[in-house]
Amino acid sequence: MVMNLRFNGRGFDHLFPKAQACLRSIFLMFSVLGCLLAFSFPSYADVVFPTTTYVCFTKDGQPHDKPVDFTINCYGYWAYDEWRGGAVLPPGTYTPELVFSFSATCPNYGCEINEPFYLNYRHIDYCDCVGETGGEPFFISDYGSSPVDFSQCETENDGFSRECELRLDIPLASELTDLDTEEASTDSDGGGGGGCFVSSALSP
C-alpha cells in the first residue's frame, strides 16, 4: 500500500523553499558573528604588511656604494602570552634567543628589499647585523630593538603597505679586532622612506 502523505492537502514540497531560506539566514548570522569577533580581538589577527625597505650602509661616515651581503638577527623570547595581554617577562628571568632573522644582498647604497617583517608573538630585546663586503666580514652589535625603526616608516596611499629605511654604518677594519667588540658604530635611525636620499648622498 502506497501512503500519500498530505499536509493541508498540499504535500511537503512547499516547505523546502522555506527551509532553504532559513538555512541561508542562519549561515549569514554566523558569518556576521565571525566578522564581529575578528574585529573585536585585533591583537589575535595575523596581519602581514607589505614592506619596502631602503637599505643604506655607510662606512667611515660615507655612503658605501658597493655590494653587501648581510643578515639581521634579532634576539628576545617568544611572547604568545604577552601578545594576548599577559605580563612582560622581567629582564634577567630569561636568556634571549633568536626569534627573527632575514638575509639579503644589497648591490649598492639605498638598495630596495621587500621583507614584511612579520614579528607577531615575539618580544625583541636587540638586533645585530652580520655581513660581508669586498671580502671583509663585519659585525654590528645591538643596533636597535627592532629590525627597522617602524615609527619612522611611511604608510603608502593604500593605507596598508609601508616604506621604511635601514641605516647601518659598517665598522672599519681597525675596529673589528673582535666580532664581539661592543659599541660597533651604527647609524640606524630608520629615518622615513625615500631611498636614503641616494641622489644627494652620493658624489658624482
Are 18 and 69 within one domain?
Answer: no
Specify whether the CB–CB gap between 123 and 88 falls below 8 A. yes
The answer to the question of residue 137 being in a domain is yes
Number of domains within the chain: 2
Strands 162-170 and 51-59: what pairing?
parallel
Residues 55 and 117 in one domain: yes
Q: How confident is the model at residue 32 (pLDDT cuts 50, 70, 90)?
A: very low
Q: pLDDT-based confidence at 83, cuts 50/70/90?
A: confident
pTM of the model: 0.65
Q: Is the pLDDT of residue 5 over 70?
A: no
Same domain, 38 and 80: no
Same domain (yes/no): 92, 147 = yes
Asked whether residue 41 falls in the same domain as residue 89, the answer is: no
Asked if residue 142 and residue 100 are part of one domain, the reply reads yes
Looking at the structure, do residues 142 and 96 belong to the same domain, yes or no? yes
Q: Which residues contact 34 (CB under 8 A, 6 or more apart)?
A: none
Q: Is residue 58 part of a domain?
A: yes
Same domain, 69 and 156: yes
Determine, yes or no, domain membership for 4: no
Q: Tell the residue number behind the cell numbers 638598495, with chain if given.
A: 111
Range of the domain at 20: 12-45
Q: Phi and psi dihedrals of 15, rounded to 5?
A: -80, -25
**Is there a single domain that holds both residue 85 and residue 135?**
yes
Tell me, yes or no, whether 29 lies in a domain.
yes
Q: Is residue 59 part of a domain?
A: yes
DSSP element (H, E) containing 123: strand 122-133
CA 57 to chain centre: 21
Do residues 86 and 181 share a domain?
A: yes
In a domain, 152, yes or no: yes
Joined grid coordinates for residue 170: 659598517
196: DSSP letter: G
Lowest-confidence segment of 45-54, 95-104, 159-168, 179-188 by average pLDDT = 179-188
Residues 55 and 37 in one domain: no
**154/174 same-domain check:** yes
SS3 of 178, please?
A: coil
In a domain, 64, yes or no: yes
CB 57 within 8 A of CB 107: no
Q: Is residue 7 in some structural domain?
A: no
The pLDDT value recorded for residue 16 is 55
Dump pLDDT digits (tens) for 132-189: 999 999 999 999 999 999 999 998 888 789 999 999 999 986 555 444 434 444 444 4
